[in-house]
Amino acid sequence: MGSAMNEKTTPNETDETAALGGAVRSGDATAFTALVERRRRELLVHCYRMLGSLSDAEDAVQETFLRAWRYRESVKEGLPLRPWLYRIATNACLDAIARDPRRTALAASSEVGASGAGPLADIAWLQPFPDALLEPLDPIAPRDSEPEALALTRETIEIAFLTVIQRLPPLQRATLILRDVLGWSAKESADLLELSVAAANSALQRARATLRKELPPRRPAWPAGVDAGDGERELVRRYVEAAERPDVSMLVSLIREDALFRMPPDPDVGVVAGRDAILRMFVDAGFGTEAFGRLRCVTTRANGLPAVAAFVRRAGDPAWNALAMDVLRIEEGAIAEILTFGPDLFAAFGLPPTLEAEDESEQVAAT
Is the pLDDT higher at 243 or at 264?
243
pLDDT for res 111: 62
User: How big is the CA angle at 287 (ends 250 and 314), to the nearest 5 degrees?
Assistant: 125
| Predicted confidence band of residue 136 (pLDDT cuts 50, 70, 90) | low
Domain positions in the chain are 11-214, 228-366
pLDDT for res 108: 75
Q: Mean pLDDT for the chain?
A: 85
pLDDT for res 11: 54
Do 1 and 83 contact (CB within 8 A), yes or no?
A: yes
The third-level CATH classification (topology) of the domain covering 228-366 is Nuclear Transport Factor 2; Chain: A, (3.10.450)
Q: Examine the pLDDT at 8 and tell me if it is beyond 50.
A: no
State whether residue 355 is helix, strand or coil: strand
Cα(216)–Cα(230) distance, rounded to whole angstroms? 26
pLDDT for res 110: 66
* Least-confidence region, from 5-14, 44-53, 313-322: 5-14
Q: Examine the pLDDT at 60 and tell me if it is beyond 60.
A: yes
Is the pLDDT higher at 21 or at 341?
341
Q: Examine the pLDDT at 46 and tell me if it is beyond 50.
A: yes
pLDDT in tens, 248-296: 999 999 999 999 999 988 877 888 999 999 999 999 999 999 999 999 9
The residues pairing with 322 across neighbouring beta strands, listed in sequence order, are 311
R_g of the chain, CA atoms, integer Å? 23
pLDDT for res 116: 43
pTM: 0.86
Cα(46)–Cα(71) distance, rounded to whole angstroms? 20
The residues pairing with 326 across neighbouring beta strands, listed in sequence order, are 308, 340
Q: How many helices and strands, by DSSP H and E, does the chain display?
A: 14, 7
3-state secondary structure 303-324: CCEEEEEEEEECCCCCEEEEEE
Q: How far is CA 352 from CA 261, 315, 356, in A?
A: 25, 21, 10
Compute the average pLDDT of residues 157-170.
91
Do 142 and 148 contact (CB within 8 A), yes or no?
A: yes
pLDDT for res 104: 86
